[in-house]
Amino acid sequence: MSKILVTGGAGYIGSHTIVDLIEKGFEVISLDNYGNSDKEVFDRIKKITGKTVHNYCVDLTNLHAVDMVFQENTDLVGIIHFAALKSVEESTRMPLLYFKNNITGLLNLLECTKKYAVKNFIFSSSCSVYGNINTLPVTEATPFGAAESPYARTKQMGEQILQDFTSNNKQINIIALRYFNPAGAHKSAIIGESPTNKASNLVPVITEVAIGKRTSMTVFGSDYDTRDGSCVRDYIHVMDLADAHTKGLEYLLKETNKANFEVFNLGSGEGATVLEAIHAFEKANQLKLNYTIGPRRAGDVIAVYSDNTNASKSLNWQPRRNIEQIMKTAWEWEKARS
């Protein structure tokens, strides 16, 4: 079996991707320091897959510790890099922390990728690289706008670092997957989104309100130039996203890539407002949510949704789950973990 390193393997997208990789025949090791995750996730992954995944509790900003992981795993054929701080709001308060963690971690990982000649690398990027968009849907050719948060800037910088890196390391193939708003949970309800820090993404906030962990939630902004005044986002089921990472890896392993640095949008191709997402949850689960309308939040872009044509053609990938399925699986997970 081909051995893959997943950084941030105990995290939300990382754990679901590990399940998908194992189910498709890959051997997986993980690197996660549990900064915003829980080691129990690996027990849950074993319950789903029957496989034990070894995790190295290592901070990516510690180059020596990262190098030791590579020394012990010289047979790696690919890396999927998720590990990063990801809260837009937190990044506006602590920008230096985000630059140190996200950029230094990437640089250290690339140092080891080059040193140990790992040929295939997938980078977890984000639609936040586009900033506020004048033309929708977003394609990969859409130029970067001004970063609306330090988090978004780390993703812009990360992609630029990778592009420069590959221009001088032709033997390494890298794709950056720019995904939009991951949500939902595995159909088993054994794993799902469960940050140890306070949830800030919309869907876990919704489910926490629904189950009573929060008394209410706030919709940030009612005066945006959108259908109902709330922000528009492109919600993609986490298992569709996991499938795209596995397909991206297979794309590189088969050497069917067109260049040694490529980018792909991963989204549903449709936009939903925050209020529409709330109503989709209510419809899917026959529940009413307690929410209020508040002022705009720093760092939020007005509207963004994807054109996923390139991923469809090159990676043979299509999202298979709609927003109501996202909300249904997210709710089943919330009930199971509570």
Residue entry with tokens 């936009």: 271
DSSP conformation class of 102: I
* Residue 300 CA: distances (Å) to CA of 36, 221, 256: 22, 10, 36
Distance CA 7, CA 280 (A): 32
3-state SS, residue 176: strand
Q: Which residues form the catalytic set?
A: 151
Distance CA 338, CA 333 (A): 9
Token pair listed for 289: 């949510």
Distance CA 213, CA 207 (A): 9
3-state SS, residue 53: coil
CA 214 to chain centre: 24
End-to-end CA distance of the chain: 36
